Amino acid sequence: MVDVHALAATLDEAARDVRAIPPLTGAMPLDLAAAYAVQRAGIELRRRRGERLAGVKMGFTSRAKMAQMGVGDVIWGLLTDGMLAGPSVDVSRLIHPRIEPEIAYLIGREVRSATEVESAVTGVAVGFEVLDSRYRDFRFTLPDVIADNASAARFGFGAWHRPRDVSNIGLLLEIDGRPVQTGSSAAILGDPARSLRAAARLALGAGMALEPGWIVLAGAATAAVPLPEGAHVRVTGAGLGGVEVTT
């Protein structure tokens, strides 16, 4: 039997000690259900420290991300208010952070069925996600990364815009004024709205309704890039403005 709580504690300590660990599956088999149980136990540890759920993140919703990380399935994780980035992110608290552009949705009312999620959205914005795998060299199998809450570390978003079609908008990631990644939101399952519906379906399937005020990150449209110290990052989405973060 997999000790879900012990594995969650191991990942949680790795994050807090800023120390990479070997993948869990190097030591034992872990199926997807057990991996999600570890993820939930890890979120529970954060909640006990006073963090509150703030939303859902989708992972590997684009080919660029699947190819970068060598996995082929969509996964999801949970966001807490403790992960919300300020205008700056302290990268000394992270093991090997990477940043990627995201499309963010704001949920305006409780979502009890996946079919109603689009009508519950009150805002859309360009966002970013700072990933930080707790595994050495950012290398993992699918169950490993699920247990590690889909590498979630920090996230942020720009100004909210009224819900609109964002099925094919240009996304640009710049570091210190240099473009480092460009992509289209169409890379996210053909339309980030599909990822939004999947997020609702997955959360509901796990017994969780999306709550008012929650954020859904639809997944990166491009590969993630290393986030060094002293960097000034800007993510722009055509028609959505931008969001900036410094390290």
Nearest distance, CB of residue 196 and ligand OOG, angstroms = 13
The single residue among 150, 172, 225, 243 that binds ligand OOG, judged by CB under 6 A, is 150
Binding site for Mg ion (CB under 5 A): 129, 220
Applying CB under 6 A, does 133 fall inside the site for ligand OOG? yes
Non-local (6+) Cβ contacts of 119 within 8 A are: none
**178-184 vs 98-107, strand pairing mode:** unpaired
Region 111-130 residues binding ligand OOG, contact defined as CB under 6 A: 129
- 33, two tokens: 């259900």
Q: What is the DSSP string of 56-99?
A: EEEES-SHHHHHHHT--S-EEEEEEGGGB--SB--GGGSSS-EE
Q: Which residue is nearest to Mg ion (CB)?
A: 129
Asked if 220 is part of the footprint of ligand OOG (rule: CB under 6 A), the reply reads yes
Binding mask 24-63 for ligand OOG (x = CB under 6 A): ---------------------------------x-xxx--
- Decide: 103 and 126 in contact? Cβ < 8 Å: yes
Separation of alpha carbons 165 and 170, rounded Å = 13
Question: Could you identify the residue written with the tokens 């609109």?
Answer: 164
Burial bucket for residue 16 (CB in 10 Å: 0-12, 13-18, 19+): exposed
Q: Given the complex with Mg ion, which of 4 and 43 has the nearer CB atom?
A: 43
Based on CB atoms, which residue is closest to ligand OOG, 121 or 131?
131
Of residues 219 and 236, the one with the C-beta less far from ligand OOG: 219
What is the contact surface with ligand OOG in residues (CB under 6 A)? 57, 59-61, 65, 69, 100, 129, 131, 133, 145, 150-151, 219-220, 224
